[in-house]
Structure 1
Amino acid sequence: MAGQRTAAEALVELLQAYGIDTVFGIPGVHNLALYRGLQDGTPRHVLPRHEQAAGFMADGYARVSGRPAACFVITGPGVTNIATALGQANSDSLPMLVIATVVERADLGLGRGRLHEIPRQRELCRALAGFAETALVPEVLPELVARAFAGFVAARPRPAVIEVPVDVLVQPVWERWRPVSLPLPPHPDPGQVEAAARLLAAARRPATILGGGALRLGRLALDLVERLGCPVVTTVAAKGLVPESHPLSLGATLPAESTREILARCDRLLVVGSELAETDLWRDLPKVAGRAIRVDIDPDRLADPRLPVDLAVLADSRAFVEALLPRLAEHRPAPDVEPAAVRARAIAEAGGPAELHRAVLAEIRRALPEDAVVFADMTQIAYTGHMAFACERPRRWLHPVGFGTLGWALPAAIGAAFTGMREPAVVLVGDFGFQYSLAELATAVEHVLPLVLLLWNNGGLAQIRDDMHRRALRPFATAPFNPDFPALARAMGAEATRVRRLDGVAETVRQALAYRRPVLVELCASDIARSAGLSVGES
């Protein structure tokens, strides 16, 4: 027996037992009982300036570590504020546990005008999370937590929401809740592994696509493509899983015509851990002439009619590749294409402002150590960087791919900093997107985090402005007033500077990295373009 404590205290203790070491959250009148469980300082608590940022922090924590963090939010506005972050984590298959309060049990669903009340709050969460349930009595909390964690490790990771009525949180609990043994990810059927090996052994022009679901492969990804001797292309989520300098790597060039031509003519296509979504392709899937093998932990992806497959394998990516490798021949002949040349052509296909972006990205890459982690927001230069920024390791170029939420990068980088990462962290964000979450700069300053914010100031919503030009529209609502960003950063306690020349980018980034605390570097796009004789965008 553990002695009497509240359900909220018992829940916090149980989360620790499952490995939760960090909680991102904002205390409010409805969730104060949870904060009683944090009084001794464990798990560590991080106070963001907005619940959406709390969710993005948990997102960044998961992207870097592969592990979930927890978020504590209040009923109503706390839930709606974190909703965008839930959608982002759901879209990008990330584990995140949100503990939300809800009105007392006697008021559930009745719309009586209680403080913070949403009559059907759980239904809202179910639209955005992989798992959302209500604990109507304390005794079900251990089961709900176990189900959430089982989903994190043995299925396609999705955010989970457990809502707890405020009166349940303060109910007495006498037993000590303990974690259960979690299931292993699904292993492949041995017959399907043999069939995959036979199909690949007969290939003359194989190709491989690796998605975010393949990140668990680690070094096995390189072993796989070298054993197959075939070109490999990654989605943005898996960028760097195979070093992009490797002679077989096409990089993250899946939307490029040069890469699509290779996929169209291959006679065997192996797709591991990718939903092949619109944001992976930005066009229809290429018509594959040969036979396709698809491996995924999500049965819905295997049923996708857009890519007819000869073999659909429901399995964890690592378990499948570990079983497949011993069945493949030791060496295969080199491909009949040069992936490095194809990748170079793919990068060069983009016109307009991409030439300027590539020049600036090259300077940033030159200044950063190989293991630096870049959190790239929704901004034009990041879209170019998906292909053009050289990446040699996985989880080093991170981007809110599926949901595409502006303002993600800064809070995500803050969350990642609490994983214990030692690699330099860089936030690449546009001038408009930065203003979505600039309040979190104060969070970074408060914790003295060694973050470098590279603010790409192209004068507003440049991507939308260019899209309007392409549609023969007169651009409007794309050039908002911008503050003096360095002055704003200094007012919040950060260091700040401004770069106006291309030849000043690399050295300024190196200096910013040396500060070991938050530094904002404003990259003035128009001035940098003029200094290099390049175009800043369409006109």
Structure 2
Amino acid sequence: MMKTVGEVLITLLERRGVAHIFGIPGVHTVEMYRGLDGSSIRHITPRHEQSAGFMADGYARATGKPGVCLLITGPGVTNAITPMAQARADSVPMLVISGVNRAATFGHEEGYLHELPDQQAMMAQVALLSQTLHRAEDLERVVDRAFAAMTGGRPGPVHIEVPLDVMKQQIAVPPERAEVKIRRMPDPALIADAQARLSKAKRPLILAGGGAVGAADALQTLAETLDAPVVTTTNGRGILGGHPLCIPASPTLPAVRDLMADADVVLAVGTQFGRTDYDMYDDGEAPEIAHLIRIDCDPVQITRGRVPDMAIVADAQVAVAALGLQPQTSEGESRADATRISALNSLDATYQSHIDVIDTITQAIPGVRIVGDSTQVIYAGNMYADIAQPWGWFNAATGYGALGYGPSAAIGAALGDAAPVVCITGDGGLQFCLSELGTAMDETTPVIFVVWNNNGYQEIERFMVDHDIKPEGVTPSAPDFAAVARAYGMPAERVEGIDTLGSALTRAKAAGSAYLIDLIVP
């Protein structure tokens, strides 16, 4: 059967298990949209291509599958660069497929619509792989290569561009075949060496990052066997959530640093040792580690950050499961408990009150996934927040730090998974993507949007004051958010003071639909 490249592309994505595509159609992609007719893939239309990327990001974190965007050439892909950079910083698999002008026009700058001097070269700066489909018959290989790049090592964003003339060419639909699964297996000799070192440890410690999410069950078994505390980074929150061995606190905090310094063997699983996790305040006081074993799926990534005494390049779940040990005791629960108490007490009263807000949300809505923007409550939660399940907490306030991430990512997460979703966003951050409230209503995603409304960029204002800088540019005016939400047909209310949040959440949960709470805070 002969079909256009655009149609066959959709068929190949469908075979790969793609269930949702985020995009805004344009004349440079309509041929690919032809393939959606009769497909099982659901198309989601945001109001802006940046939001499409953030929705794909949230979808990928909630499902563990790549988020897919379909975007026009030129402004479509340039609008997606920010979410691609966020996905790269946080190792999130994202596939961005775009159109591009005819290959014969490349580099001539003759004024074609949406023309860029070299779109592929530009996208290659943020993508793990960016490739132009020059020949129609290479389509299946290019798609295979894209998925291998996204999932074969450290995950991240990948870009495929299809020239307008190639998009319309007719090719045969390839026969179905088994998908190639890529899992890095650990070196048995290294596993044996790690077992020996861990079995001799008197004060073992585990550090779990976002790359350990898929190994959460195996990690819990190992932690219990070793009697080892587990420190979770921002993207690792929810691993061992609520467990006596879990320390849901930032490695930046002095109590956690003391625990790291005291450990005689540290096993770091799927963590980048990024500065925003381990040295948020850039004080350069991250401790020395006596003996560090790192497990990471990427041989390049394992050379960044802390240099390990032993490097195991492998799939986290496979490697952790292979570390079978005899049960031992190391006062792990008491060490974890003391660290949790000290870490929480080291935070000032404001941060502790914000952590109480997070606890209010998790108690009001069991099993909730909290997706955040860069705002005060999220900063506090990144320092300390006990979350029930992996990927139950994520945001853009670390790593690349893109403002306006939360609302769109929350919509993507709600589309990908049935867990209830609460988005915490600031009054400034929501205005980056206010129109996506309409997308939430279009797609009937029951996200509860909590607007932390402190009348501006208060965190930045405080930073300016603390550094003897006269505050400037930190008080952008905000609309009546509840009125805007209701204009989209979304139920909404405005409440004052954080003590009102619990009852508002109860009403929002009962609504069973998208809901906005404009929370006015001092």
TM above 0.5, one fold? yes
Whether the 8 Å contact between 1:263 and 1:286 is mirrored in structure 2 is no
Q: Deviations over 1:138-183 (max 9, x none)?
A: 1111111101112233211111110010110001113435456324
Map of 1:261 onto structure 2: 258
Can you list the C-alpha shifts for 1:62-118, whole angstroms capped at 9, x where unaligned? 000000132110110001011111111111111111111111011012211110001
**1:381 matched residue in structure 2:** 377
Q: Which residue in the other structure is 2:273 paired with?
A: 276
RMSD: 1.6
SS, match of residue 222 in structure 1: helix
Give the count of matched residue pairs: 518
- Comparing 356-365 with 211-220, greater Cα deviation is found at 356-365
Structure 1 CA distance, aligned partners of 2:360 and 2:197?
A: 44
Residue correspondence of structure 1 range 179-328 to structure 2 within 5 A: 181-243=179-241, 245-281=242-278, 282=280, 283=282, 284=284, 286-304=286-304, 306-325=305-324, 328=325
Which 10-residue stretch deviates more, 343-352 or 379-388?
343-352
Supply the AA of the counterpart residue of 1:218: A
Deviations along 1:424-472, one digit per CA (max 9) or x if unpaired, are 1111100000001111100111122211100000111011101101111
Contact 1:21 1:69 in 2 (8 A): no
Residues 388 and 311 (structure 1 numbering): CA distance in 2 closer, same or farther, change over 3 Å? closer
- Residues 1:177 and 1:56: Cα distance change in structure 2 (over 3 Å): farther
Q: Which residue of 2 aligns with 1:51?
A: 49
Q: Distance in 2 between matches of 1:514 and 1:286?
A: 45
SS at match of 1:225: helix
The whole-number CA distance in structure 2 between the counterparts of 1:271 and 1:317 is 10
> Does residue 396 of structure 2 align to residue 397 of structure 1?
no
Instruction: Give runs of aligned pairs for residues 484-523 of structure 1, distance below 5 A.
Output: 484-523=480-519
Which of 413, 418, 440 matches 1:416?
413
Deviations 1:177-210 (A, max 9, x none): 5456324211110000000011111111111101
Instruction: Tell me, in whole angstroms, the C-alpha distance in 1 between the residues paired with 2:483 and 2:73.
Output: 36
Post-superposition CA distance 1:360-397 (Å, at most 9, x none): 3333233121x111111111111101244321211111
Unaligned 5+ segments in structure 2 are none
Which residue identity does 1:212 align to in structure 2?
G
Partners of 1:473 and 1:438 in 2: CA distance: 30
Which of 11, 14, 17 lines up with 1:13 in the alignment? 11
Q: Does 1:125 align with 2:123?
A: yes
Distance of 1:23 and 1:502 partners within structure 2:
37
Q: Is the 8 A contact 1:247 1:338 kept in 2?
A: no
* Cα shift at 1:340: 2.0
- Give the CA deviation at 1:285: 6.6
Provide the identity percentage.
Answer: 37
Distance 1:477 1:180, change over 3 A: same
The CA distance in 2 between the partners of 1:394 and 1:21, in whole Å, is: 22
Describe the shift of the 1:119–1:156 C-alpha distance in structure 2 as closer, same or farther (beyond 3 A).
same
TM-superposed deviation, 1:238: 0.7
**8 Å contact from structure 1 (residues 71, 99) kept in 2:** yes
Contact between 2:249 and 2:343, CA under 8 Å: does it hold in 1? no
User: 1:365 maps to which residue?
Assistant: 362
Deviation at 1:341, TM superposition (A): 2.8
Matched AA of 2:43: H
Q: CA–CA distance in 2 between the matches of 1:174 and 1:339?
A: 59
Unaligned runs of 5+ in 1: 527-539
Distance, in Å, in 2 between the alignment partners of 1:363 and 1:302 is: 38
Structure 2 CA distance, aligned partners of 1:353 and 1:459?
A: 17
Residue 371 of structure 2 aligns to a residue whose secondary structure is strand
Contact kept, 8 Å, 1:495 with 1:519, in 2: the verdict is yes
Partner of 1:531: none
Aligned-partner Cα distance in 2 for 1:336–1:330: 14
Distance 1:97 1:308, change over 3 A: closer
Q: State how far apart, in whole Å, the 2-side matches of 1:318 and 1:365 are.
A: 27
Asked whether the equivalents of residues 365 and 389 of structure 1 are also in contact (C-alpha less than 8 Å), the reply is no
- Structure 1 residues 362 and 246, CA gap change in structure 2 (3 angstroms): same
Please report how far the alpha carbon of residue 252 of structure 1 lies from its aligned counterpart in structure 2 after TM superposition: 3.0
Tell me what 1:446 maps to. 442
Which of these residues, 339, 344, 363, is aligned with residue 341 of structure 2? 344
Instruction: Provide the TM-score with structure 1 as the length reference.
Output: 0.93
- Bigger CA drift: 338-347 or 437-446? 338-347
The 2-side partners of 1:355 and 1:79 are apart by 40
Which piece of structure 1 moves more, 399-408 or 20-29? 399-408
